[in-house]
Every structure is written in structure tokens, then in C-alpha cells.
């Protein structure tokens, strides 16, 4: 399907600079732009490509000031990245949705199934499961007893949802994720080994949550492990038992959150962040990649980096010093030799 610059600009509320009849039928990265495609420029580091790209249409910010002629038709909007994302979302929504229940799926007679479902091959739907309207379950998904899944939620191939878990509406759970596996609970005993502590709780995932591939969300020992509305988790993330993650918090890959930690809303964690258990993180906290968090962060909106973490600006200043420590050490040694010579 072809779209003109004029039609795209009307949808985005933007302004066309160039040929309003310019037409596209695909998208491309600006550095790999091809004729007939749409691209965008949001990061100034990529500005050089806008003067040489072959993309037919490029979405740019309203304040973009080219230093030379651009070969593409431009559409100026308030936020180019957000506008491009909204177009991709529109395209995704326009794709045909799978429907129907595979004859190769195993579905308990006690399961309650909504309308317009898709259930793929070799999926297992256990006893007393409840699936709302429009749920899509791709092949080889396992859903345990008494699981509830809300309207329009999508489970990609190989997802495992343990018994009692509750998943809200319009969530996306990617391939290989495990929801509701046992928390890591073991008690040492007199025989100098460990006795397993039964994990009797569950997982609650609220609406509009997205969970990346091979991420694991452990069930609570008692009560619930909770992901609040709008949480976005990358691939390969570990959320331990009894953790609570606040609304609209996002985490990048390989982050690990230990048991009973409470994370506020609107937080942002970089990749490979690690948090110990039984601490709390205030609303709006940003944690840089590979940081280790050994205690609570109580100030809202804090930005930290390091292990243990420091204020982000302070850490950057410290880094300038400690990356030069070998040179400073050599200078100190030289001064000591000179002082020693003067003393003698």
C-alpha cells in the first residue's frame, strides 16, 4: 500500500517541505535509505545521512535546520521519533491478525474462552483458564491452571505461564518468557544443606505491559509479584519473588531485581543493572547501565551510576580522576623520589 507525504503529514499533524505527492510503500533507516521508503531523523549524530539518503520521505523535528540541500521530501513534526513510532504502530495494527483454534492444541473442557481468539499448534490450556476476547496465543505456549488473561493480550511462541498467574489486557509477552516460576527460596537447616521454601503466591501483570524474550517473572512466596500498568521489560530480565514494579517503569536487557524490592513508577534502568532484595526505589529514578544498587534510593527523580551508585554528574567527574590514577601514581612516585633526594 502506498502513502503520500500529504497523507502522512495529515495523520501526524505535520508540515510537508518538498513534494506533497511523493509516495512511499516501505520504511528504512536513514543511513540505508532506498527510493520509495520513509525514514526519520531524530538523533543529531545521524544528520550527515539526510544529505545523501535515497529515502523518498524523511520525518524531521520542526526545529531542524539543514546546512545544505536535502534530496528527500521532509515532513516536519514536533517529535520525529515519536511520530515515526506512531506510524509503525499504525502499520502493525493494519496487518491481518491470526484467528482460529488449532486442532492440535490441548484445551481443558473447564477453560473459558472469549471471542475472536487465536490458539496455535501444540498449545496447552489447562483447567479453569480464562481467556478474554481477542487473545492471541502462538504455538507451543503452556498456560497453567486458573490463569486469567485479559482482552487483546498476545503470547508469542514458547511462553510458559504457571498456575494462578493473572495477565491484564493488551499485554505482549515475547517468546520463551516464563511467568510464575518458583521464587528462589531455600532455608538452611541443621544438616548444612537447604530446604526449599514452598512458593505459594502468584504473579499479577496489569494492562499494557510488554515483557521481552526469555525474561522470567517469579511467583511470590506469599501474596503476589506485581508489574503495574505500562511496565516495559527488555529481553533476559529477572524479576524475583514478591517484587513490585511501578507504572510505566522500563528496564533494559539483563537487569536483575532481587526479592521483595519495591520499584516506583516512571523509572528507567539501563542494561545489566542489579538490585539487591528488600529495598525500595523512588518514583522517576534513572539508573545507568551496569550499576549495582545495594540500598534504597529515596529521592524521586535521582539519576545514578556505578556500584555502589553515585549521583550521575558526580560519577562522571570522579571517572575523569580515576581513569588517570596510573599517571597520578607515577607522578606521586616521582615527587617522592625528588623529596627523598632533597632530604638526603
CATH code matching the domain that covers 100-315, chosen among 2.70.70.10, 2.160.10.10, 3.90.1150.10, 3.40.30.10:
2.160.10.10
Closest CA to 166 of 146, 137, 136: 146
- Provide the annotated active-site residues: 241
- Give the per-residue pLDDT at 13: 95
pLDDT averaged over the chain?
A: 95
184-202 pLDDT per residue, tens = 999 888 788 899 999 999 9
Instruction: Determine the Cα–Cα distance for residues 62 and 77; give it in Å rounded to an integer.
Output: 5
Give me the residue label for grid cell 504457571.
162
Quickly count: other Cβ atoms within 10 Å of residue 158's Cβ.
Answer: 17
User: 321 vs 259, which has greater pLDDT?
Assistant: 259
Backbone angles phi, psi at 102, to 5 degrees: -65, 140
The answer, yes or no, to whether residue 94 has pLDDT greater than 80, is no
Query: Residue 319: what pLDDT?
Result: 81
Q: Residue 227 forms beta bridges with which residues? A: 205, 245
- Read off the pLDDT of residues 215-255 as tens digits, 9 standing for 90 and up: 999 999 999 999 999 999 999 999 999 999 999 999 999 99
Cα–Cα distance, 177 to 158 (Å, whole number): 7
Residue 46: band (very low, low, confident or very high) from pLDDT cuts 50, 70, 90: very high
Q: Is 145 exposed, middle or buried (0-12, 13-18, 19+ CB in 10 A)?
A: middle
C-alpha cell at 261: 524490592
Q: How far apart are the first and last CA of the chain?
A: 88
| Pick among 1.10.760.10, 3.40.1500.10, 3.40.50.720, 3.40.1390.10: CATH of 3-94 | 3.40.1390.10
Tens-digit pLDDT profile for residues 266-306: 999 999 999 999 999 999 999 999 999 999 999 999 999 99
Domain boundaries, the chain: 3-94, 100-315, 316-344
Find the mean pLDDT for residues 334-344: 85
- Residue 97 has what DSSP assignment? P
CA-CA distance, 283 to 268, in Å (whole number)? 10
Q: Would you say 131 and 153 are in contact if contact means Cβ atoms under 8 Å apart? A: no
The pairing of beta strand 194-196 with beta strand 186-188: antiparallel
pTM: 0.87
**Whole-number Å distance between alpha carbons of 254 and 239:** 10
pLDDT at 344 over 80: no
Greatest Cα pair distance, the chain, in angstroms, is: 95
Q: Which residue has the higher pLDDT, 91 or 295?
A: 295
Task: Give residue-wise pLDDT tens across range 105-156.
Answer: 999 999 999 999 999 999 999 999 999 999 999 999 999 999 999 999 999 9
Amino acid at each position: 500500500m502506498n502513502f503520500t507525504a500529504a497523507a502522512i503529514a495529515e495523520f501526524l499533524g505535520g508540515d510537508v517541505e518538498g513534494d506533497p505527492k511523493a509516495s512511499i510503500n516501505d520504511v528504512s533507516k536513514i543511513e540505508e535509505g532506498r527510493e520509495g521508503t520513509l525514514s526519520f531523523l531524530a538523533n543529531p549524530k545521524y544528520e550527515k545521512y539526510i544529505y545523501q539518503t535515497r529515502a523518498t520521505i524523511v520525518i524531521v523535528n520542526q526545529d531542524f535546520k539543514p546546512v545544505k540541500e536535502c534530496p528527500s521530501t521532509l515532513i516536519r513534526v514536533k517529535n520525529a521519533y515519536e511520530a515515526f513510532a506512531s506510524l509503525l504502530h499504525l502499520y502493525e495494527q493494519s496487518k491481518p491478525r491470526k484467528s482460529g483454534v488449532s486442532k492440535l492444541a490441548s484445551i481443558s473442557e473447564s477453560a473459558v474462552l472469549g471471542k475472536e481468539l487465536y490458539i496455535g499448534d501444540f498449545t496447552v490450556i489447562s483447567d479453569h483458564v480464562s481467556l478474554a476476547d481477542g487473545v492471541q496465543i502462538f504455538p507451543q505456549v503452556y498456560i497453567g491452571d486458573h490463569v486469567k488473561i485479559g482482552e487483546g493480550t498476545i503470547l508469542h511462541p514458547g511462553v510458559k505461564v504457571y498456575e494462578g498467574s493473572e495477565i491484564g489486557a493488551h499485554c505482549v509477552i515475547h517468546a520463551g518468557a516464563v511467568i510464575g516460576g518458583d521464587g528462589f527460596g531455600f532455608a538452611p537447616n541443621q544438616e548444612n544443606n537447604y530446604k526449599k521454601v514452598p512458593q505459594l503466591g502468584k504473579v499479577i501483570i496489569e494492562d499494557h505491559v510488554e515483557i521481552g524474550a526469555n525474561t522470567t517473572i517469579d511467583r511470590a512466596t506469599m501474596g503476589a509479584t506485581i508489574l503495574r500498568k505500562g511496565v516495559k521489560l527488555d529481553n533476559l530480565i529477572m524479576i524475583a519473588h514478591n517484587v513490585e514494579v511501578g507504572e510505566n517503569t522500563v528496564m533494559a536487557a539483563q537487569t536483575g531485581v532481587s526479592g521483595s524490592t519495591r520499584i516506583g513508577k516512571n523509572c528507567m534502568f539501563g542494561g545489566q543493572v542489579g538490585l539487591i532484595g528488600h529495598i525500595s526505589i523512588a518514583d522517576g529514578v534513572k539508573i545507568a547501565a551496569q550499576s549495582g544498587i545495594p540500598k534504597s534510593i529515596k529521592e524521586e527523580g535521582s539519576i545514578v551510576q556505578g556500584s555502589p551508585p553515585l549521583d550521575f554528574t558526580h560519577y562522571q567527574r570522579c571517572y575523569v580522576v580515576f581513569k588517570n590514577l596510573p599517571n597520578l601514581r607515577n607522578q606521586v612516585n616521582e615527587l617522592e623520589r625528588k623529596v627523598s633526594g632533597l632530604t638526603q
